[in-house]
Amino acid sequence: MAVPSRHVAIVGGGIAGLATAFALQERAAETGLPLPCTLIEADSRWGGKILTHRIGEFLIEAGPDSFLSQKPWGLALCAKLGLTDRLINTNEDQKKTFVFSRGRLRELPEGLIVIVPTELGPFLRSGLLSGAGIARMAMDFVLPAKRKPGDESLAAFFRRRLGREAFERVIEPLMAGIYAGDAEQISLRATFPRFLEMEQEYGSLIRGMLAGRKRATPTQREGEPGRSMFVTLKDGLDEMVRALVTRVKEAGVTLMSERRVEALRVRSGRPGVWTYDLLLEHGPVVTADAVVLATPAYASADLVRPLSPGAAGLLESIPYASTATVSLAYSASELGSSVCGFGFVVPRVERRDLLAATWTSLKWPHRAPTSHVLVRCYVGGIGREEILKTDDETLVRRVREDLAGMAGVTAQPAYVEVNRWHRSMPQYTLGHLERLEDIQASLGRYKGLWLTGAAYRGIGIPDCIREATETATQVVRYLSASPL
């Protein structure tokens, strides 16, 4: 007897939507449940924030350029897609990162785990922190843990544990590179809950990090065996997108690009069982038994508003930062000796436009011909978005002024490209986790409707993949259990 099938619609063809479609097909194959699925994307291309292209011999990442190997879900997906051999590590020969601090680039000393300094000696020698700053950092060993560990901003937590200087000069710039956010607003519980647990468990952040390092096997510490902390794919992250598109297509998923979902309607033939109609900008109505919204929170807000104005309001209240990346190619012979290592970050207290600069072709092999160096600059973010209002010419001029002032790069670039990312980085501000619970409760009656993607439980690519995979499991569980 034929098993009755249910239709799933996924809205948004970024990594979250694609990974949901892929995992759904995997689960469908495992359970024998036929699962027709339609993936709908507003844009003409797949991948969302992941956007790789080639300009001659340069390989340019307009959005993300790598992902963390310590979070296993990115590597695991690559393995399933047959891309393990395509993964590349950062260039060991250049394994140094710098911080622009008090007038010059200073190397980030050894002993930094994730973003927390664990060895005080190298910091003393680096000149990055004053003696008083290092002494204050060491007080982490003796300061008592907070009695009532509620939500706290990243800034408040790290200032409390490690002191103002370590926070402003080391932690803030590293964190800003991940979230493009304001550490005074970002929730510790929603972003780095492990640090909170460490404080409670070990009474000290540094002790907790060191204990974690001892417990971990050497391979765990550095990511998968032979993997650097960040990895990428030989032809850029778009390889992952292309492989996902091919695989979901082969599995029978219907892919609809250039189709914006304009509205979501719901009807119910029986109590508790919903049918969803997705109204597309140019195209037919797509009817589904389950819907996954893998769209930015503000886009999902518009779609769920008729179902739950409360959930829409909460989704809309998740702030987004706008950013831009500026890629510049220079003739290698014209760059000075300060262009070495992976690049540098700039603390907010320095009050510059530049958030960070990566010497892309030194960090990753094959990103530029040997005659040239490819540089990627990162601007914008909460409280630093004013530069994004300027035209490309002014934006590039300001970036080049910072590159000249901080790293002595005064040469004329052979190629320049600006990629603007409007409302691109969701901010997990204080109370974020409670907000997620409230959203879930507000949409609770609409069985068969899920939200996934960077806005919720992890902004990086591995976390988006993890959450998408979990969502797919829940969809299959729901459809297997609910009566036709």
Ligand X SMILES: Cc1cc2nc3c(=O)[nH]c(=O)nc-3n(C[C@H](O)[C@H](O)[C@H](O)COP(=O)(O)OP(=O)(O)OC[C@H]3O[C@@H](n4cnc5c(N)ncnc54)[C@H](O)[C@@H]3O)c2cc1C
User: Which residues are bridge partners to 54 per DSSP?
Assistant: 59
- Select the span of 93-101, 192-200, 203-211, 417-425 touching ligand X (CB under 6 A): 417-425
Give CA torsion, residues 343, 345, 350, 351, to 10 deg: 100
3-state secondary structure of 307: coil
Q: Should residue 40 be labelled a site residue for ligand X when binding is judged by CB under 6 A?
A: yes
Q: How far is the CB of 9 from ligand X (least distance, A)?
A: 10
13 binds ligand X (CB under 6 A): yes
Pick the piece of the chain touching ligand X (CB under 6 A) from 94-102, 238-246, 403-411, 419-427.
419-427
The residues with which 343 forms a beta bridge, in sequence order, are 97, 358
Q: Whole-number minimum distance, CB 48 to ligand X, in Å? A: 2
CA proximity to 66, closest of 360, 322, 356:
360
For the CB of residue 240, give the shortest distance to ligand X in the complex, in Å: 10
Q: Closest CB to ligand X among 155 and 468?
A: 468
> Does the footprint of ligand X cover residue 48 (CB under 6 A)?
yes
Task: Give yes or no for residue 323 binding ligand X (CB under 6 A).
Answer: yes
- Applying CB under 6 A, does 261 fall inside the site for ligand X? yes
88-92 own/partner pairs: CB under 8 Å, 24+ apart: 88/231, 88/232, 88/233, 88/234, 88/364, 88/365, 88/366, 89/226, 89/227, 89/228, 89/231, 90/66, 90/228, 90/229, 90/230, 90/231, 90/342, 90/363, 90/364, 91/362, 91/363, 91/364, 91/365, 92/228
When asked if residue 63 is in the footprint of ligand X (CB under 6 A), the reply is yes
CB 454 within 8 A of CB 16: yes
Q: Which stretch binds ligand X (CB under 6 A): 38-46, 123-131, 192-200, 389-397?
A: 38-46
Question: Nearest approach, Cβ of 51 to ligand X (angstroms)?
Answer: 9
Residue 50 touching ligand X (CB under 6 A)? yes
Which of 166, 292 has the CB closer to ligand X? 292
Stretch of residues binding ligand X (CB under 6 A), selected from 30-38, 39-47, 144-152, 366-374: 39-47
- Judged by DSSP in three states, 213 sits in helix
Examine residue 347 and tell whether it contacts ligand X (CB under 6 A). Answer: no
Q: Which is nearer to ligand X, 243 or 261 (CB)?
A: 261
Task: Give the rounded distance of the alpha carbon of 312 from its chain centre.
Answer: 23
Whichever of 68 and 162 has its CB closer to ligand X, that residue is 68
Strand segments (E) across 237-385:
254-256, 261-270, 273-280, 285-288, 290-293, 320-331, 343-345, 354-358, 372-380
Should residue 325 be labelled a site residue for ligand X when binding is judged by CB under 6 A? yes
By the rule CB under 6 A, 453 interacts with ligand X:
yes
x/- track of binding to ligand X for residues 273-312 (CB under 6 A): ---------------------xxx--x-------------
448 near 477, Cβ under 8 Å?
no
Residue 272: how many CB atoms within 10 A of its CB? 10
Specify the residue, 60 or 166, whose C-beta has the smaller distance to ligand X.
60
Q: According to the binding rule CB under 6 A, does residue 15 interact with ligand X? A: yes
Closest CB 1 distance from ligand X, rounded Å: 36
Nearest approach in angstroms of CB 174 to ligand X is 13
Backbone angles phi, psi at 95, to 5 degrees: -70, 75
Nearest approach in angstroms of CB 348 to ligand X is: 18
Q: Which is nearer to ligand X, 257 or 482 (CB)?
A: 257
In this structure, which long-range contacts are made by residues 265-274, counting pairs with CB atoms below 8 Å and at least 24 apart in sequence?
A: 265/306, 266/307, 266/446, 272/447, 273/447, 273/448, 273/482, 273/483, 274/446, 274/447, 274/448, 274/449
Task: Give residue for tokens 């320049």.
Answer: 416
Shortest Cβ 361–ligand X spacing (Å):
16
Determine the residue type at 81. L
Site membership for ligand X, residue 60 (CB under 6 A): no
Which DSSP state fits 129? S
16 binds ligand X (CB under 6 A): yes
Q: The tokens of 26 are what? A: 């995997």
Residues forming the site for ligand X (CB under 6 A): 11-17, 40-43, 48-50, 63-67, 260-261, 294-296, 299, 323, 325, 421, 424-425, 453-454, 459-461, 464
